[in-house]
Amino acid sequence: MNLDQIVTAWAAAWSGTDPAALGALFTPNATYIDQGIGVAMVGREQISGWKARTDAGIEDVRVTVNHASYCGDRITVEGVYAGHIKGAPAPFAVPLATLLDLENGEIARDQDFYSLNTVFTQSGLPADWTPAAS
């Protein structure tokens, strides 16, 4: 895949409903860091699991790419992360910045940056909200 195809596939996988589609874009030992929540996943299985857990708690997850730039094996993505937290009064759509580091045409490291506080504010939830245990 070329760099534009990687960005398109990454956004489509986040906006889609198949968690394995996201994991398949990564190297076998890739690292995925969600800086908004402060969690990290390692490997395709954990990354696919993160997408599945996200979809279980957020309806209509969408990632829209507004701009991507490339420097060597790093892609910087600017866009919007949107969805509707299940049970929240309103949907959210917040700015997102992502750094994708590549190895041999696959994502080896992904860091997502967004404001969790803004997600909660737009969703109509308190800043200390946590999902109910299932």
Residue 110: CATH number of its domain: 3.10.450.50
Per-residue pLDDT of 76-129, as tens digits, reads: 999 999 999 999 999 999 999 999 999 999 999 999 999 999 999 999 998 888
* Residue 13 scores a pLDDT above 80: yes
pLDDT at 134 over 70: no
What's the pLDDT band for 3 if we cut at 50, 70, 90?
confident
Residue at 36 is within a domain: yes
Phi, psi of 103 (to 5 degrees): -140, 120
Q: Phi first, then psi: give them for residue 129, nearest 5 degrees.
A: -65, 140
Q: What is the pLDDT of residue 130?
A: 82
CB neighbour class for 117 (10 Å; exposed up to 12, middle 13-18, buried from 19): exposed
Region 23-32: what's the mean pLDDT? 97
Q: Look up residue 17 and give its DSSP letter.
A: S
In a domain, 132, yes or no: no
Whether 14 is covered by a domain: the verdict is yes
Overall domain count for the chain: 1
Q: Which domain holds residue 38?
A: 3-123
